């Protein structure tokens, strides 16, 4: 494996917060490079420069981890779009692209696996074999291309997450395993989210937590409980949407007449950058170690989060200077407080 940087993920977490950023599939769909529905990252082969550009924008905004765009680049999903034969090429190229941009800064490269839609807890013995084979295949290629650690994410089932963890540990890489949280308080195989994180930690996960589905307001209360339940590092990568007690996930947000906003009409619920900066500070306050953003995430959020953690990043050169605005400059004293609605649930 090529050594890209002197400090690995565990070293960095030991000395402070690591800032991550995801949501590649959502953002590249928005930019016209990925088809909503199947959400397969064909862009990796069809428009590699578009992937590199988004990596680069996140890097400039202060993201420390380039997550290889292999989300849904697995056998089951590629079958859906008739590109099963591109499986290996897509996986290898995704890791190569992440590496190329990571070297432009001092970022780490994470291999990425996710829920497979192949796991069935009622037929765990049989389906586990399929899932394991998919993870081994994807991560085998990723390791050959060079990764620093692995993020296994949006896990609906603890059972499936444990398979991912085993495969990552076989490869002797640090493992970050985060759960989806579509359901009210437990995984689809019936484990309370906090308990599931504890089990993952007990099985050797280096970083556990939640990603996707929930906005900061409804994710942080769960993550806070995870923090007190485990001794390992904790991750929180929410979606930047205004979820609430009534609508705890972005899948449950409604635009009126009971019509759901997910996944293509979520814009009215977007948080602003100040709110995401506030999330980063709150996450820091409760002891979250890996702070990031998921679907809906974009570079301006990441920069605001980085700066709220006291960092100056390459894109800070172009951070707002509203005092220089000809009209708004006189109102600058209101600053971010105006925009910072109370998003607590
Ligand atoms: Zn997401």
pLDDT tens per residue, range 189-205? 999 999 999 999 999 99
294 CA from centroid of ligand 1 (Å): 4
Report the half-sphere exposure of 273 (CA within 13 A, side-chain side).
Answer: 16
Question: Per-residue pLDDT averaged across 273-281, rounded?
Answer: 98
- Say if residues 290 and 234 touch (Cβ distance below 8 Å): yes
239 CA from centroid of ligand 1 (Å): 6
- Of 50, 10, 173, 4, nearest to 69 by C-alpha is 50
297 CA from centroid of ligand 1 (Å): 8
83 CA from centroid of ligand 1 (Å): 23
Reply yes or no on whether the pLDDT at 267 is more than 70: yes
302 CA from centroid of ligand 1 (Å): 15
206 CA from centroid of ligand 1 (Å): 21
pLDDT tens digits, one per residue of 209-230: 999 999 999 999 999 999 999 9
211 CA from centroid of ligand 1 (Å): 7
Reply yes or no on whether the pLDDT at 103 is more than 80: yes
Reply yes or no on whether the pLDDT at 344 is more than 80: no
Reply yes or no on whether the pLDDT at 62 is more than 60: yes
What is the per-residue pLDDT for 256?
86
> Residue 20, class by beta-carbon neighbours within 10 Å (0-12 exposed, 13-18 middle, 19+ buried)?
buried
Residue 179 CB contacts under 8 Å (≥ 6 apart), including other chains: 154, 155, 156, 158, 161, 187, 193, 196, 197, 209, 210, 211
pLDDT tens digits, one per residue of 292-329: 999 999 999 999 999 999 999 999 999 999 888 888 87
26 CA from centroid of ligand 1 (Å): 8
Reply yes or no on whether the pLDDT at 290 is more than 60: yes
What is the per-residue pLDDT for 72?
86
Reply yes or no on whether the pLDDT at 12 is more than 60: yes
> Residue 185, class by beta-carbon neighbours within 10 Å (0-12 exposed, 13-18 middle, 19+ buried)?
exposed
The pLDDT > 70 percentage for the chain reads 94
The residue that leads in pLDDT, 324 or 23, is: 23
Reply yes or no on whether the pLDDT at 278 is more than 60: yes
User: And the tokens for 166?
Assistant: 């085993």
270 CA from centroid of ligand 1 (Å): 14
């Amino acid at each position: 494996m090529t050594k890209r940087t002197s400090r690995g993920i565990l070293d960095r977490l030991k000395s402070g917060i690591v800032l991550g950023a995801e949501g590649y599939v959502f953002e590249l769909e928005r930019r016209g490079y990925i088809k909503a529905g199947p959400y397969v990252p064909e862009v990796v082969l069809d428009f590699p420069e578009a992937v590199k550009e988004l990596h680069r924008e996140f890097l400039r905004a202060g993201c420390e981890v380039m997550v290889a765009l292999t989300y849904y680049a697995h056998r089951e999903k590629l079958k859906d779009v008739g590109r099963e034969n591109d499986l290996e090429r897509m996986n290898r190229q995704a890791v190569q692209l992440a590496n190329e941009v990571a070297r432009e800064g001092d970022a780490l490269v994470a291999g990425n696996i996710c829920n497979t839609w192949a796991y069935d807890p009622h037929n765990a013995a049989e389906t586990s074999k399929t899932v394991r084979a998919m993870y081994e295949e994807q991560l085998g290629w990723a390791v050959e291309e060079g990764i620093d650690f692995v993020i296994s994410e949006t896990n609906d089932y603890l059972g499936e997450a444990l398979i991912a963890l085993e495969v990552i540990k076989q490869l002797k890489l640090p493992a970050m395993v985060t759960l989806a949280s579509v359901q009210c308080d437990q995984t689809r195989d019936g484990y309370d989210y906090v308990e599931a994180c504890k089990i993952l930690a007990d099985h050797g996960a280096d970083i556990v937590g939640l990603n996707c589905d929930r906005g900061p307001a409804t994710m942080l209360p769960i993550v806070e409980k995870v923090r007190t339940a485990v001794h390992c590092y904790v991750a929180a990568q929410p979606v930047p949407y205004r979820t609430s007690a009534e609508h705890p996930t972005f899948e449950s947000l409604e635009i009126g007449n009971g019509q759901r906003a997910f996944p293509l009409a979520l814009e009215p619920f977007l948080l602003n950058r100040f709110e995401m900066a506030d999330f980063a500070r709150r996450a820091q306050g409760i002891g979250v170690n890996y702070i990031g953003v998921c679907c809906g995430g974009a570079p301006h959020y990441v920069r605001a989060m980085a700066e709220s953690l006291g960092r100056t990043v390459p894109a800070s050169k172009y951070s707002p200077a509203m005092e220089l605005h000809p009209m708004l400059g006189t109102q600058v004293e209101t600053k971010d407080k105006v925009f910072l609605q109370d998003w607590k649930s």
